[in-house]
Amino acid sequence: MGVHVYAEENTSPVAPSRLFKALIGDSETLMPKLLPQVVKSISLLEGDGGVGSIKLLTFQEGVPSKSVKTRVDATDAEKFTHKYTLLEGDLLNEKIESISYEMEFAPGPDGGTIGKIKATYVTKGEGPPTEEERKKGKETSLAMFKVVEGYLQQNPDAYV
């Protein structure tokens, strides 16, 4: 078994509190609304949305992945941090056992945000995930971040 950690940062002109509320606090409602061609639904299978809760993200027909099941590992609405683990889905395969994500929405320049995400891949062998495997998750996360960012910029009274 191997453990491989990758980190990314993205900046946004939107305040950390607004991004956190939209991306973490209201994802079940907002993602299907903003990305109806990709996200069919996000359902809470177990829990109340807090630590230990299990969520199911179901994608529309034609999207390469059918669904993803995640578990909330930690969340802090005051520090704007969130950690979750991918339990089931197409990103997990004969090589990748699990993927955990840690997200932080830190204060950035001019009232904006520095979005930090750390992905920890646990592989079944010693080798790291391929660039293609990493790219798939990274591109999806960034695309969702940018769509929500655009929505918040166009709707300055949302999630304040």
pTM given for the model: 0.89
Query: Measured between alpha carbons, how far apart are the two ends of the chain, in Å?
Result: 43
Give me the torsion for CA of 132, 38, 141, 79, rounded to 10°.
-160
User: pLDDT per residue over 22-75, tens digit each?
Assistant: 999 999 999 999 999 999 999 999 999 999 999 999 999 988 889 999 999 999
pLDDT at position 132 is 81
- What whole-number percentage of the chain has pLDDT above 90? 74
CA 121 to chain centre: 15
Give the separation between CA 73 and CA 142, rounded to whole angstroms: 21
Q: Residue 48, class by beta-carbon neighbours within 10 Å (0-12 exposed, 13-18 middle, 19+ buried)?
A: exposed
Mean pLDDT over residues 80-91, rounded? 92
pLDDT at 96 (0 to 100): 87
Per-chain mean pLDDT for the chain: 92
pLDDT of residue 129: 79
pLDDT higher than threshold 90 for residue 92 = no
- The pLDDT of residue 64: 81
Residue from 127, 119, 121 nearest 97 by CA: 121
Contact by Cβ (8 Å): 46, 71: no
Q: Which residue has the higher pLDDT, 144 or 134?
A: 144
